[in-house]
Chains A and B, each alone.
Chain A
Amino acid sequence: MTYVGSFETWATIITVAGTAVAGDVLTAGAMRSIGDLDDIRAQSGMPGAIKAVVSSPMFLLGVLSMAASFFSLLFTLSNVDLSLAAPASASLTFMGNAIAAKIFLKENVDKRRWLAALFVCAGVALLAH
């Protein structure tokens, strides 16, 4: 394994988290625009539900971002220890999602949800020990 400097380490980890947040927010935005999948499936069956999802440009952009996150994670793991990269990127993704959901999705991120994001973030970091 090749060890890189701390700037490169955090730049790659932040890239993994940033692309993951973009993927989550775009897919969540797409799913909200499409509407309740259970209702769509009841009306037009499973093919109708699949068509509604895969024909959404926002969903496809989200999947592309998720793929970018996956490949940047692979790149990060070839340079940075798993015990740092996995929990650091997962924790940053949780906090980033709470912030991005409030700004872009206009979700009501109240005290309860901030606390949940913080607890989950700390919990994921501790699980890596």
Chain B
Amino acid sequence: MKHTLKPAQYLILLAVMLTASIGDTLLSHGMAQVGPVSLAHLGVLFTAMKNLWVVAGILCLLGFFASYLTALSWADLTFVLPSTAFGYVVVALLSKFWLHEAISLYRWLGIVLIVCGVGFVANGPSRTEHADHPGIELDPLA
């Protein structure tokens, strides 16, 4: 049986891609403002929680975890994971067009490979049908 996704489920996958990359970018921007954290000065981490960029980043990453778990409830892990990798492409494109960073030929090649990888799974079924057992079996010998 071929499982195809509903438009709302594609939106969840889009949220997985965007919230992870935007959350990481916000955290990175916020932590650059907070400054370096060392084991001797862990209290700085509490200061970081007062930084709006850090708080926004954490909220985005919470959104990522919620949408990631939702996606895993109706799609295979090997279907969802390449979608999360697409976040790397979003970060690279944000760096290029928003932060005006230079992207090397290697990175463009990496972006092309990830896009191809995501394209391979996006055309296939989203879920493996387990006819006799709808749940999950974690014993490889079973």
Asked if A pairs with B, the answer is yes
- Contact surface of A with B, Cβ cutoff 8 Å: 24-25, 27-38, 53, 58, 94, 97-98, 101-110, 112-113, 115-120, 122-127, 129
- Contact surface of B with A, Cβ cutoff 8 Å: 8, 69-70, 72-74, 76-82, 85, 88, 92, 104, 106-107, 109-114, 116-118, 120-121, 123-125, 128, 130, 135-138, 140
Per the bound structure, the CA–CA distance linking A33 and B138 in Å amounts to 11
- A62: shortest Cβ distance to chain B, in Å? 10
By a CB distance below 8 angstroms, the chain A residues around B130 are 106
Q: Ordered nearest first, which 4 A-B pairs have the shortest CB separation?
A: A126-B110, A123-B113, A119-B117, A129-B106
By a CB distance below 8 angstroms, the chain B residues around A58 are 138
- A118: shortest Cβ distance to chain B, in Å? 8
Tell whether, in the assembled complex, residue B78 and residue A109 are in contact, meaning their CB atoms are under 8 Å apart: yes
- A58: shortest Cβ distance to chain B, in Å? 8
- A117: shortest Cβ distance to chain B, in Å? 7
Tell whether, in the assembled complex, residue A117 and residue B117 are in contact, meaning their CB atoms are under 8 Å apart: yes
Select one of A33, A38, A110, A124 contacting B114, CB under 8 A: A124
- B111: shortest Cβ distance to chain A, in Å? 7
Tell whether, in the assembled complex, residue A120 and residue B77 are in contact, meaning their CB atoms are under 8 Å apart: no
Select one of A28, A38, A127 contacting B88, CB under 8 A: A127
For the complex, would chain A's binding face be called helix, strand, loop or mixed by DSSP majority?
A: helix
- A25: shortest Cβ distance to chain B, in Å? 7
Tell whether, in the assembled complex, residue B135 and residue A94 are in contact, meaning their CB atoms are under 8 Å apart: no
5 contacting pairs across A/B (C-beta < 8 A): A32-B136, A36-B74, A37-B70, A116-B118, A129-B104
Per the bound structure, the CA–CA distance linking A29 and B69 in Å amounts to 11
Per the bound structure, the CA–CA distance linking A25 and B137 in Å amounts to 11
By a CB distance below 8 angstroms, the chain A residues around B114 are 119-120, 123-124, 127
- A109: shortest Cβ distance to chain B, in Å? 5
- A78: shortest Cβ distance to chain B, in Å? 9
Tell whether, in the assembled complex, residue A123 and residue B117 are in contact, meaning their CB atoms are under 8 Å apart: yes
Tell whether, in the assembled complex, residue A24 and residue B121 are in contact, meaning their CB atoms are under 8 Å apart: no
Per the bound structure, the CA–CA distance linking A113 and B138 in Å amounts to 20
